[in-house]
Amino acid sequence: MENTATLKRKKYFDFTLLFIVLFLLGFGLVMVYSTSSYVASVSSGDDFAFFKAQLRSIIVGLFVMLLAYLFPYKYYKKFAPFILLASFIIVPLVLTPLGGAEGETINGARRWIFLFGFSIQPAEIVKIAIIIYSAALLSKMTMKERQSLRGTAFILGPAGILFLMLLFITTNLSSAIIVFGIAYVLLVIASKKNIYAYMLLIGVAIVGVLGVIMIAKGIGSSIWGFRGERILAWLNPEAYADGKGFQVLQSLYSIGSGGIFGKGLGKSMQKLGFLPYAQNDMIFAIICEELGLFGGLAVIFMFVLLLFRLRDIVYYTTDLFGSLLVCGVFAHIAIQVVLNVAVVTNTIPNTGISLPFISYGGSSVIFLLAEIGIVMNVASNIDFATPNVNYQETIDEETE
């Protein structure tokens, strides 16, 4: 009996989750070098420039992940309102001198703040903040409150405001969609019978379809700006081959030329200046070109394994706040992977979204690893001998 009690007191460390994440990071480093070496050598004379920067970000991210793993996750619940407030404050900072020089803009808006020689993308901070806030608030509500209009507004309201801030201050539509999507998924998970959530989804779908029809017919074209051009390029990329359709066409050429098993690692032609941002948003296209359909499906399979591992942790977690935190990380990664692959394959209009753990980008990999650290801390407090098979019943009972 004493040995059993001692074993139960030991913290569980999820080596399976860690292995999957390290594999994605290692593969990402290989692909960042492969996709960026030519551009880096032309622009800076150092073909390892992007590789070194990504490696530094991963090292910092792993340290942040360790801190997040050691920090008890239940404290986030207490500080959730302050974390949300910080996210409201940090986004407008891109418009201050911390946002860098006037030339450092994307489509006329800034997306980074610069501190102590480091660049930070506020959108990545907002994603983790909305996970913590939504999980904390939902875990405090009763089921009746979650299913009410008031409860829905308390969850989706802050996410909606952050959506608008990211959209209009940073013109970062993809991150705005992810932030709102995280809050929406958590609300639906915690209250499956929330009629207001489903009404909102139907309303957004109708507005989206009507918007696409209006753009396609040239109605109110002046108010849509570059996003209208992106939708037109999505509908008919060949007609916009010299503009907004260029990147997606080159991406499709990459995927098509790779065939089943690809041209071989490092042998992509599109990365030689033909495909813009090959190491960032379009890295999946180069993966398909060099490693073929087999390589692309293998990457997707690894993400599926990662998501299934997160699902298993939720399955065994009896603490509602902890399980919702993991659900939030699940939603973030799942939405971002789906959006990236959909953009690269021209399934949806181009939104400029990176592939988690693989695409080049310091802020993204650091905060994703912070989220994994939080998940590992949640996992360290569970007992895999007693699965929480009645998860939805636990949600109901804990908040009645």
pLDDT at 257 over 50: yes
Q: Quickly count: other Cβ atoms within 10 Å of residue 98's Cβ.
A: 14
Share of the chain above pLDDT 70, in %: 88
The span from the CA of 113 to the CA of 120, in Å, is 5
- Which positions ≥6 away from 266 have C-beta within 8 Å? 34, 290
Please state which of the ranges 171-175, 226-230, 348-352 shows the lowest mean pLDDT: 226-230
Please state which of the ranges 54-68, 93-107, 208-222, 372-386 shows the lowest mean pLDDT: 93-107
Of residues 241 and 123, more confidently modeled = 123
**Token pair 């017919």 in the structure block, residue:** 217
At 7, is the pLDDT very low, low, confident or very high (cuts 50, 70, 90)? very low
pLDDT of residue 5: 45
User: What token pair was written down for 218?
Assistant: 């040239």
Highest mean pLDDT out of 92-101, 186-195, 236-245: 186-195
pLDDT at 2 over 50: no
pLDDT at 228 over 90: no
Please state which of the ranges 78-92, 126-140, 176-190, 237-251 shows the lowest mean pLDDT: 237-251
The span from the CA of 128 to the CA of 259, in Å, is 37
pLDDT of residue 286: 94
Q: Quickly count: other Cβ atoms within 10 Å of residue 188's Cβ.
A: 17
Coil, helix or strand for 165?
helix
DSSP letter string, 301-319: HHHHHHHHHHHHHHHH---
pLDDT of residue 15: 92
pLDDT of residue 239: 81
CA atoms within 13 A on the CB side of 136: 18
Please state which of the ranges 227-231, 293-297, 306-310, 314-318 shows the lowest mean pLDDT: 227-231
User: What token pair was written down for 74?
Assistant: 């239940």
Q: Where are the domains of the chain?
A: 13-399
pLDDT at 191 over 90: no
The span from the CA of 365 to the CA of 60, in Å, is 9
pLDDT of residue 293: 93
Q: Is 338 buried (19+), middle (13-18) or exposed (0-12) by CB count in 10 A?
A: middle
pLDDT of residue 1: 43
129 neighbors 175 (Cβ within 8 angstroms): no
At 398, is the pLDDT very low, low, confident or very high (cuts 50, 70, 90)? low
Bridge-partner residues for 109, per DSSP?
106
**Token pair 């949640």 in the structure block, residue:** 378
65 neighbors 51 (Cβ within 8 angstroms): no
pLDDT of residue 388: 57
pLDDT of residue 387: 58
Share of the chain above pLDDT 90, in %: 57
Highest mean pLDDT out of 37-51, 211-225, 303-317: 303-317
- Which positions ≥6 away from 113 have C-beta within 8 Å? 90, 93, 94, 96, 98, 99, 100, 119, 120, 122
pLDDT of residue 96: 80
DSSP symbol at 275: S
Average pLDDT over the chain, rounded to an integer: 87
What is the amino acid identity at position 192? Answer: K
DSSP letter string, 109-122: B---EEETTEEE-H
pLDDT of residue 390: 47
What is the amino acid identity at position 343? Answer: V
**Chain segment 58-114, per-residue pLDDT in tens:** 999 999 999 999 999 999 999 999 999 999 999 998 888 777 655 455 545 577 888
pLDDT at 297 over 50: yes
Where residue 12 falls (left for φ over 0; alpha for ψ -120 to 50; beta otherwise) is: beta
Q: Quickly count: other Cβ atoms within 10 Å of residue 387's Cβ.
A: 14
Average pLDDT over residues 172-196: 92
Coil, helix or strand for 346?
coil
At 386, is the pLDDT very low, low, confident or very high (cuts 50, 70, 90)? low
At 384, is the pLDDT very low, low, confident or very high (cuts 50, 70, 90)? low
324 neighbors 190 (Cβ within 8 angstroms): yes
What is the amino acid identity at position 301? Answer: F
**Chain segment 12-61, per-residue pLDDT in tens:** 888 999 999 999 999 999 999 999 998 888 888 888 999 999 999 999 99
pLDDT of residue 103: 46
